[in-house]
Amino acid sequence: MPQHLLAIDDVEEDFEKILRWAIEFKRLWKQSDEVAMNFMPLDTLAIGSIYEKPSTRTRVSFEVGINRLGGYPLTLLKNDIQLGKSETVGDTSQVLSRFLGGMTYRCFSHDDVTELAANADVPVINALSDKHHPCQAAADLMTVLEHFDEPSEITVAWVGDGNNVLHDLMLACAMLGIDINYAVPEGYEPDEEIVERTMALAEKNGCKVTMMHDPIEAVSDAHVVYTDVFISMGEEHMNDKVEAFDGFQVNEEMVSNMDETWKFMHCLPAHRGDEVTNWVMDHKNSIVFDQAENRMWAQMSLLAYFINKGAWDAMGEFMGLD
Ligand code: CP
Ligand code: NVA
């Protein structure tokens, strides 16, 4: 049975190594290292990416990353395929498994990516569902490891909605032993079952997970503040939701409560003027474009890990990883 990435804690055991692999591979690639540039673990494989929702970062980073690993990226937009119209997710999965070496899927309902995986003979990577965004969390924690020498000594603060991005961010922080405070408005708390999974990981890895409703309390003395849009894809009809986020904008005044080395993170796309100001987005401490670039490097590590583990291991050994 193939292994799948539906939520970031599916790679709990090797999470830090997957990130270190990505950091080192990125470094070698940027030096035009011949071994890295000739690393083709997806050689001759087509990797299909299904999108039910729009995407800039995920689509481009997967297409370019798959190509760099020797694979053939095949982007399948929902309106162009039979999925959901005259075919079930499970049947689509069985058909695509006959052609592809792996699949990525951006969907509305998390149940759909679960069904795709349950019927697949090849690895499935969740490219965002209403519940999880594991590829984002991998890129985010890769970025944190690049920017902080002692990540277990920092506090990450989330200010915003209790959404898909928060779910995997909190799981990922807990897997690396990083304290996380999250401030969400009442009624917009993260999924309880995911919070319980996060708490169990935090206990195992010796860090704290704290829910608050006051954003200023959450960011006080924190090293990173992370936010996302208040209205996610699929929630466009929930116009009233925005009112609950009064006081949740990340701005100059809010970050003045943080550690002086503060960093700003956002999965993007950002709605400038809503959840974050231009001052913060364009500040030298904003690392949002590093996060965006790291989507590709983190996903290259994940693609090789899930689709050709032997090659991923061999490259890890070459790069001197344990
Ligand atoms: N962060 C993210 O997933 O961006 P896209 O929606 O552009 O893929
Ligand atoms: N929470 C956002 C993330 C977009 C990358 C959404 O689901 O639309």
Where helices occur in the chain by DSSP H, the ranges are 15-30, 34-37, 57-68, 89-97, 110-118, 134-147, 164-175, 192-205, 215-219, 252-255, 278-281, 288-307, 309-318
* Residue 2, pLDDT above cutoff 90: no
**Residue 164 CA: which ligand is closest?**
2
- Confirm whether 8-133+295-310 and 136-291 share one CATH topology: yes
Contact 156, 180 (CB under 8 A): yes
Look at residue 186 in the predicted model and tell me its pLDDT.
Answer: 96
Task: State the greatest distance between any 2 C-alpha atoms of the chain, in Å, as a whole number.
Answer: 56
* pLDDT tens track for 169-193: 999 999 999 999 999 999 999 999 9
CATH architecture of 136-291: 3-Layer(aba) Sandwich (3.40)
* pLDDT tens track for 86-131: 899 999 999 999 999 999 999 999 999 999 999 999 999 999 999 9
Q: What CATH number does domain 8-133+295-310 carry, 2.40.10.10, 3.90.226.10, 3.40.50.1370, 2.10.260.10? A: 3.40.50.1370
Q: How confident is the model at residue 47 (pLDDT cuts 50, 70, 90)?
A: very high
Measured from the Cα of 58, ligand 1's closest atom is 8
Catalytic residue among 9, 132, 136, 173: 136
pLDDT, mean of residues 270-290: 98
* Residue 237, pLDDT above cutoff 90: yes
- CA-to-CA separations, 289 to 94, 106, 294, in angstroms, rounded: 37, 21, 8
Look at residue 265 in the predicted model and tell me its pLDDT.
Answer: 99
Q: Which residues are within 8 A (CB) of 68 and not within 5 positions of it... i.e. 6 or more apart? A: 29, 300
C-alpha of residue 51 to centroid of ligand 2, in Å: 13
Domain ranges within the chain, ordered by starting residue? 8-133+295-310, 136-291
Look at residue 1 in the predicted model and tell me its pLDDT.
Answer: 83
Distance (Å, rounded) from C-alpha 138 to C-alpha 220?
25
* Residue 322, pLDDT above cutoff 90: no
